[in-house]
Every structure is written in structure tokens, then in C-alpha cells.
Amino acid sequence: MNILQLVPKLNVGGVEKGTAEVARYLTLNGHKAVVVSGGGIFEKNLAAIGARHYNLPVGKKNPFIMLICYYKLREIIRKENIDIVHARSRIPALTGYFAARSTGKTFMTTAHGQYKRHLISRVMGWGKIVVVAGEVMARHMKDNFGVSFHKMKIIPRGVDLKKFGFISPLEKNKDFIRIGMISRFTSIKGHLDFLKAASYIVRKKPNVQIVLMGDRSSAKEEYMKKIELTIRRLMLGQVVKFIDSDKDVAETLKSLNVFVSANRAQEAFGRTVIEAQARGVPVVATRVGGVSENVEDKVTGLLCDPMDPLDMSYKIMKYIEDPSFAERMAIAARKHVEENFSLEYTMKKTIEIYKYALGVKNILVFKISSLGDIMLSVPSLRALRHRFPGASIKILVDKRFREIFDNCPYIDDVIVCDLKGKDRGIRILSLAKKIQREDFNLSIDLQNNRISHLLAFLGRIPERYGYDNGKLSFLINRKINLPSTAIEPIKHQGYVMGLAGVTNLEQKLELWPRKEDKAWVEKFLRDGWLRPDQKIVALSISASKKWVTKNWSIQKLSELTDMLAERKGIRVVILGTNDELEYADKFLKKTKAKPINAVGKTSISKLITLIDRCDAVFTGDSAPMHIAAAVDTPFVAVFGPTDPKRHVTSSGRHEILYKKVSCSPCYKTTCQKGMKCLARIKPEEVFKALMRVMGEEDPEELVECHGSEAERFGAEKDRDKAA
């Protein structure tokens, strides 16, 4: 692997030290390590271990400098054949993100600090993987920047246990007490609070030295003046010692009797805390953020309130006045570090995540509506999972159809949209941002309309597969043209799936009836006076409110219902949504039989279970046809304005009745010619077709049922072209 890390500088600090450690581990294990930064003391360390360093001002906020860095980073990525761009700070991450995207490379981040809710801070959640040091930091990124937990990986900071060898507090000089801080010189680190706490101790213990280690040259001048003024005011000039950041941290810790972490704000981890614990230095730390995850109060260290110098001084004195207590804390802390924060463990985890980031695919499938078409997407989802078994696969679907995928084994999650409600119009941008946060690297558009194409583009998905259909398809960068001839729906999807390397789509549809719905269906049918041994056929009385041209007449539906009851004693259950309630009332008044009325009474999952329970289904070109095929219930479907070759799969036991006329297929929702195509299909034909798919045909009818394929599909020519 070729890994590029981005940091603002390479001076002292946990971020910089971690960057150098990862680079060293990569080179030792045969990988290429490249670091881009503004330079610093660790630069020479990189050269010594065989890593490459490029000096660029990637930490500068000047837009002009950032633009220059963007183009330079692209050159470096190409020159070094980089696989992963790993950003460890916000400003470098901003240029790194766009450089990685423009070169098609994987981008990931490590969130080191509890960033404020600032626009620039959001970039730390844009990585394909977001590494955090602990649960506190993971919660911060989720709550403040909407980063999903599945994207985040926890890798605690590691300590070189050999370099930071344990020295017992009882072995330290008892006549001279050294208390120290090691951190950047910035106000959130709490130096002023520490100095005030130290002043209380100095009054009681004359043999105390205060150590402040850090890079004074990179600190703000105003803050350093405050520190110097505080030292003079508290009369600590003779006891405070500054140690530059280029000195060895392990050597500095070796001489300390107590280590203090005085953070005022939420700290993501606190690397120097675990280094002190590894070295055998008792720790006093403020109760902030991730530090409290690493220091268990009165077990591996002592916690104090932030910005409370008096409380801090009490905890420091506890160690000084009770050496045996300090020894117990130090031993417990070292054991804690050995078990949880060894450098070898964290480096192995880092390599694993790099490999995972390169290997895993994060895929979004667009199939927003409608119900029947969504069910037809299952073979594609199945093939996609087979092709990418380790991928994260999600589907974007209208909220009305979300429950279809409740038990689907081929996807990891469903993203719900409401394009007629909260996601309508300009509010679609919020949905696009939600997609952005998921950091998909591949999308497959089975919806293929303007909205799905736009969402894939606005969602910043690098590889966007779809059809070149003229519906804003210029936003799709991996597209294919379809032949003009009629294609079966699964084969239709196969063109774009094949473009993405997904082949061998099986025709079989699948759905997953819920166990809890089975009890409801059985009770519903019993309440409708269905006998235990009685067969039942489901009738879908209307294709949709919009597509009235798909609807067989109420008169013919009632005749079919009566035939089933009179000739075979078969009960009928009628299906439909609330939109069909009025249509259902008209039907019930026409029929002599007593159908069970399920119109408007079933959810999608209950409808699936009800159709699964039936012996056969009669339907037009609508969702119940696909449900029946998916649950292996025999069905008969009548087609009028649409072409069955485009909408029917070859799965399941079924027959299609299609009387083609001169204007077929018209794909119109209204008809001025009396819907001759559907009018030619007689109830007797449907009855016989139902008997055949149910295995109930009479012996004398066998010759008729084995007619030619043209007769079976009713594809005879229109005899009355003049009409």
C-alpha cells in the first residue's frame, strides 16, 4: 500500500508523533509512507526510517495557498502512486479531500480533537473511514457533524512500551519533587491553572520544580506573555523550567514525580497521559472528554475538576505525601496501558483499517418507486451482494415502501426519502447532504430519472452508473445505452449492472413475509368466514388510481368472482389501497358471491403475507403480480396499454392474457377507444387460466390449454384495423 498522511506541521504533539509512528510502521512492513506537512522536528525522523516528506504549507487557511496546495497534492498523489490520502487535521483535510477525489483515490481522516461546529470542521467527517481515539470522540463526531457510527473506527493512541519503560515512583529522588506538563502552549491546555495549583504546593514543599515542555516558538505571543506574567506574579521564576519540544519526551517523563493534564476543554484522547502512565509517572488529569476514558479515578490516576487549581493541588499533594499510594496508582496504570495502548496493537489496527478502506465498497442503489418496480430490483441486489460480499450496500427508497426491505439479506441499510413531502423541491439538497455524509464510492441507478441522477451527482459519488436516457444523464459518468426493442425487466437492469461488473442476474424474485403478519392474516381470513379447507384467490381490483387503462372492468371482475364461487367453491379476497375504496364498493354491489374485502386494510408487509397465503392471484400490470411471483403464488395477469415483455419476469407459475390491438402498447393512462385491448379478454378465459395455474383444469380442457404461445399470450392481430 502507498499511504499519504497530511498534517499541518511536524513539531511536538500527539498528532505529529502518531504520524511519524505510522510512517515508520508502514515502511518496516514493506509499504510506502509519504507525509506532506509544513515541516518540523520530526522531518529528520521520517528520512531516517525511509519515508518520504514533501514540504507544503497545507496548514495555511489562505485560499490562494490552499489552491496551490491542491494542485501540488494531485501531482504528489500521481507521482507516488498513492492509494490512500489520510488527513489528520482540518485545513490539510480540505485540500486533501478534493485532491483525492479528483485523482480517484480513497480519502480517510483521523479526528484528533473535539472540534467546534464550524463549516471547515465538517471535512473531518468526509472520509470513507473516520478514525477516532475513543467512544467520547465518536459520539462528538456523530452528534455535531452527523458522522454515522458505521464509518467510524476506534483506534486508541499507542505507546512504545520499550521506549517508555516503567520506573517505579519509589525509585525516584525523594528529596526533590518534579511536577510537569507536556503539551502545546495554547489556552485550552490549562497552563495557567496548573501554575496556580503549583504555587499552592510550592508554599508547602520547598523542594519542588515545575516543568513545562512544549514548542514555545509556535505558540501565540500573547499567550506566552500571560504565562510569563503568571510565573512572575506567583513568584515561581526560580522553580519553573521550560523544556523545548525537540527533547526526548521519555527522558523528560523519567525525571517527573507527578504528571498533570490540565485541559480546560474537551480533549479527544490525551496521548501524553498514557505515555506518563507507561513510564510509571502518577497522573492528575481534569475530567474532560477522552482523558477520563484513559484515567479511572483512584484506580489508574486521579481526576480533578477543570479550571479548579485548588482541587488540582490537593490531588498532586496526595501523591507527594503518600508514596505507597503513588506506587499503587503507577503499577495499575502501567498494566492498563499494556493491555489497551501498546504501539504494536494500534499500528496493526491501523494497517487493518487501511486494507479495509481499500477493499471495501460503499454502494448506494437508487430505486425510489414504485412498489412493483422496487420488488423487481431484488435480483439486482442479490447479484450485487454476490459480486461484493464484503461491501456496504444501501438502497434509497420512498418512505412508503421502506418495509419491503425489512428482512432483505442483500443490503445493509435503507435510506428513506420523501420526495412528495420533506424532500420536495429545494429541500432535496438536505437529502443530498445526507448521501454525502455516507461517503459512497459507487452508485447504481435503477430508478434512472432526473431526481436520482441529480442526487447521485450532488451526493458526490465518484462512480455513478446508470442509463444514458437524456434525463439529466450527463450527470452520470458511467452510462450505457439501451436497445430500442422490448426487454424483460431483469434483463433491462442487467445492462447497467453489467457495466458495474455485476453479471448473472437470476430471474427469481424474492420477498420476506414477516412471521408476526401470518397470525394477522389467518385471523383476518377466519373473520371473513373462510373455511379451513377452502381455496382462496386474490383479486387485485385496480392497478392504480392514475392508470385506469390497466383496470379490467368491474362487471368482468364480478362475473369472474361468481364463476369461481359457483363452479369451484373458491372464495375471493379483493386487494387494493385506500384509493380503491370507492371502486371496491361498486364491485361488491355487483357480485353475487361474498368476497372478503381487504381493500385499504393491509400494510405492504401484510399484503405480501396475504398473497403468500392465497392459492392464486388475478391482477393487472401492478405490484400484486410481482408479489405473487416473489412468494411463488400462481397468478394470472391481464395486460392492456403496457407490454408484458417489459414488465413480467419468467419466475413463478403464471399466465399472461394480452389482446394486442393496433394501438398496443400505447402506455397511456387514458383511452378514447373504449379500452378494446382489455375489453377483448373475457371472464371465461381468465377463469380457465386460473384453473390451469392452480392445477384445477378439467381433462376435456387440456387440449385447449396447450395451445400455441401466441394464443396463450393473446397476441393475435387486431381484426378490426378500421376501427
What percent of the chain lies above the pLDDT cut of 70? 95
Based on the fold, state whether residues 305 and 331 are members of the same structural domain: yes
| 320 and 177 Cβ atoms separated by less than 8 Å | yes
Q: Distance between CA atoms of 388 and 490, rounded to whole angstroms?
A: 19
Of the two residues 156 and 638, the one the predictor is more confident about is 638
Domain end (from 307, 340, 373): 340
What percent of the chain lies above the pLDDT cut of 90? 52
Closest to 8 (Cα-Cα) out of 35, 46, 45: 35
Question: Using one digit for the tens of pLDDT, what is the confidence trace for 652-711?
Answer: 789 999 988 888 898 898 888 878 888 899 999 999 999 999 988 754 444 333 333 333
Based on the fold, state whether residues 98 and 150 are members of the same structural domain: yes
Whether 348 is in a domain gets the answer no
Position 290 scores a pLDDT of 67
State which amino acid sits at residue 709: E
Based on the fold, state whether residues 11 and 114 are members of the same structural domain: yes
Q: Distance between CA atoms of 49 and 370, rounded to whole angstroms?
A: 58
Q: How many domains does the chain have?
A: 4
Based on the fold, state whether residues 273 and 376 are members of the same structural domain: no
pLDDT at 627 over 90: yes
Question: Using one digit for the tens of pLDDT, what is the confidence trace for 350-382?
Answer: 999 998 888 778 899 999 988 889 999 999 999
Grid cell 420536495 in the structure block, residue:
424
Whether 507 is in a domain gets the answer no
Whether 350 is in a domain gets the answer no
Whether 722 is in a domain gets the answer no
Based on the fold, state whether residues 132 and 176 are members of the same structural domain: no
pLDDT at 713 over 60: no
Query: Per-residue pLDDT averaged across 232-243, rounded?
Result: 92
Based on the fold, state whether residues 553 and 487 are members of the same structural domain: no
Give the highest mean pLDDT range of 136-140, 521-525, 550-554.
521-525
Q: Are strands 571-575 and 596-597 parallel, antiparallel or unpaired?
A: parallel
Position 720 scores a pLDDT of 39
CA 609 and chain centroid, separation: 30
| 393 and 462 Cβ atoms separated by less than 8 Å | no
Question: Using one digit for the tens of pLDDT, what is the confidence trace for 61-99?
Answer: 899 999 999 999 999 999 999 999 999 988 999 999 999
Of the two residues 439 and 516, the one the predictor is more confident about is 516
Residue 76 grid cell = 504528489
Domain end (from 431, 464, 499): 499
DSSP one-letter code for 188: G
**10 Å Cβ neighbour count for 367?**
27
Whether 718 is in a domain gets the answer no
Q: Which of 192-196, 489-493, 524-528 has the lowest mean pLDDT?
A: 489-493
Whether 346 is in a domain gets the answer no
Q: Distance between CA atoms of 29 and 390, rounded to whole angstroms?
A: 25
pLDDT band at residue 625, thresholds of 50, 70 and 90? Answer: very high
Q: Distance between CA atoms of 98 and 85, rounded to whole angstroms?
A: 10
Based on the fold, state whether residues 433 and 570 are members of the same structural domain: no
Q: Distance between CA atoms of 76 and 100, rounded to whole angstroms?
A: 11
Position 270 scores a pLDDT of 72
Q: Rounded mean pLDDT of the chain?
A: 88
Based on the fold, state whether residues 475 and 332 are members of the same structural domain: no
C-alpha dihedral (127, 128, 131, 134), degrees to nearest 10: 110
Position 12 scores a pLDDT of 64
Position 155 scores a pLDDT of 84
Based on the fold, state whether residues 637 and 546 are members of the same structural domain: yes
Domain end (from 109, 125, 154): 154
CATH of the domain at 215: 3.40.50.2000
Position 715 scores a pLDDT of 37
Report CA-CA distances (Å) from 608 to 252, 281, 559, 597, 630.
70, 65, 26, 16, 9
Closest to 110 (Cα-Cα) out of 122, 127, 94: 127
For residue 498, give the H/E element and its range.
helix 489-499
For residue 344, give the H/E element and its range.
helix 343-359
Residue 385 grid cell = 451482494
Position 267 scores a pLDDT of 64
Q: Which of 24-38, 173-187, 322-336 has the lowest mean pLDDT?
A: 173-187
Based on the fold, state whether residues 13 and 58 are members of the same structural domain: yes
Closest to 411 (Cα-Cα) out of 434, 433, 444, 437: 444
Query: Per-residue pLDDT averaged across 295-317, rounded?
Result: 92
DSSP one-letter code for 718: P
pTM summary value: 0.64
**10 Å Cβ neighbour count for 469?**
17
Position 248 scores a pLDDT of 81
Position 702 scores a pLDDT of 41
Q: Based on the number of CB atoms within 10 Å of its own CB, is 667 exposed (0-12), middle (13-18) or buried (19 or more)? A: exposed
Position 269 scores a pLDDT of 62
pLDDT at 102 over 70: yes
Question: Using one digit for the tens of pLDDT, what is the confidence trace for 382-406?
Answer: 999 999 988 889 999 999 999 999 8
Phi, psi of 397, rounded to the nearest 5 degrees: -145, 150
pLDDT at 19 over 90: no
Based on the fold, state whether residues 466 and 578 are members of the same structural domain: no
Strands (DSSP E) contained in 297-406 are: 302-304, 362-366, 392-398
Q: Domain span at residue 588?
A: 519-712
Residue 264 grid cell = 480546560
Whether 345 is in a domain gets the answer no
Whether 460 is in a domain gets the answer yes
Based on the fold, state whether residues 436 and 541 are members of the same structural domain: no
State which amino acid sits at residue 556: K
